Amino acid sequence: MKTLIISFTLCAVCALAAVEFGVRRWVLPQNFLYIQVNPDTSPFFGLVDRYDVFPVSIRDHRHEGAQRGGRRSGIAFVGDSVTFCANVKIEDCFVEQLQNSQTLFDAYNFGVPGYGIVQVEQQLDKVFEKAPIDWVVYTFNFNDIHSAAPVLLTLLEPESDRLVALEDYQGPKGSLKKYLRRYYQTPLVLNYFYSTLSAPTPEVFSGAVGAKSLAPKPQQDCLATMKTAAQGYLYRTLFPVWEKMYTDPKVVEKLSGAFARLKNKVEAHGARLVVIASYDFLIVDKKNSAIPEAFRLATEQAGIDTVNLYPLFASHYSECSMYSDPGHPGKLGHRLLARRLLPEILNRLDRHRAGSS
């Protein structure tokens, strides 16, 4: 019996070691082209419950088409897969459209799928090392609601991860997913395993992993298809938790503190910060979500310059080309982003130059 227990334990350790090694050495590097995995920066077989070190960083190359450099100002666009422009061609990306529609500033795309405000803050110094930056435009989006939520809750309640643990999965696949959810706290790895281990609606996460996009064709089926896809496990069971959480003044205060730290870091480099409230299908669909109000309060408390795009997306809610999937804008969505942001940016550049002269 003792031999059997020892053998079983060794097999379990070897199996977990294989998962660990495979994820760090092959899964992430092969599935995410514009991020760099540093396998040795997080503890082996330890819960990633410390958010001061992330195993993901911005690479030297960026998600861009046209050549950058030589213009009067440099603007770094930082954020998640919306900034990165998942599921659209580079030429349709709002950052690329901004670059090609004027000659006053260079628009550098530092978007990384899966990033939230915590990761961006930690990697921000690298942005200034790679390009001459005068302004930073940060996209507040799903990953701030999703991946930053455990961070904010952890600051309030040590055992807060139980609020977002996946308790309902059963069997070997469910056990593995639960282990991965608690071990790898970034959505990047989760997206891959939700797709490969038959999650209820893996297509919801298609933008980050390069899986098959929804792209519904008939106009009359568009909203129905998107709403069906948006009712996956995370949206259906966890979004209400996030909604309730963002009505808590303590959470708004913590979010405000995160914005203030990001602002201070940007200004320490002699640059200025603008935060845009970007697109999320479920928030636009719900219309009375608590999250936009939490964003408004938090940015006001932190003294953040913002551009609120929720009303813009809501006004084009029923147009199919708005979406590539529930978490990402499509071609029309990026066109709207570019058209709305260009005058906002030019106005800020003019005001800054007038104030400096």
Check residue 33 and give its pLDDT.
Answer: 38
Q: What is the DSSP string of 123-136?
A: HHHHHHHHS--SEE
> Does position 78 have pLDDT exceeding 50, yes or no?
yes
> Does position 63 have pLDDT exceeding 80, yes or no?
no
Check residue 198 and give its pLDDT.
Answer: 30
Check residue 103 and give its pLDDT.
Answer: 94
Check residue 342 and give its pLDDT.
Answer: 93
Tell me: the pLDDT tens digits for 138-173?
988 766 665 444 444 433 333 333 332 222 223 334
> Does position 66 have pLDDT exceeding 60, yes or no?
yes
Task: Indicate the DSSP class of residue 202.
Answer: G
Cα angle, residue 18 at apex, residues 16 and 22 outer, rounded to 5°: 120
What structural domains and CATH numbers belong to the chain?
Answer: 32-356 (3.40.50.1110)
- Higher-confidence residue of 324 and 70: namely 70
> Does position 192 have pLDDT exceeding 70, yes or no?
no
Of 25, 47, 45, 46, give the one whose Cα is nearest residue 37.
Answer: 25
> Does position 3 have pLDDT exceeding 80, yes or no?
yes
Check residue 23 and give its pLDDT.
Answer: 62
Check residue 164 and give its pLDDT.
Answer: 29
Confidence of residue 266 (pLDDT cuts 50, 70, 90): very high
Confidence of residue 280 (pLDDT cuts 50, 70, 90): low
Answer yes or no: are the C-beta atoms of 310 and 63 closer than 8 Å: no
What's the half-sphere exposure (Cβ side, CA atoms, 13 Å) at 247? 8
> Does position 20 have pLDDT exceeding 60, yes or no?
yes
Query: For residues 332, 34, 101 and 326, what is the CA-based torsion angle, rounded to 10 degrees?
Result: 10
Of 346, 20, 11, give the one whose Cα is nearest residue 180.
Answer: 20
**What is the strand order of the sheet 135-140 is part of?**
105-109, 73-78, 135-140, 272-277, 305-308
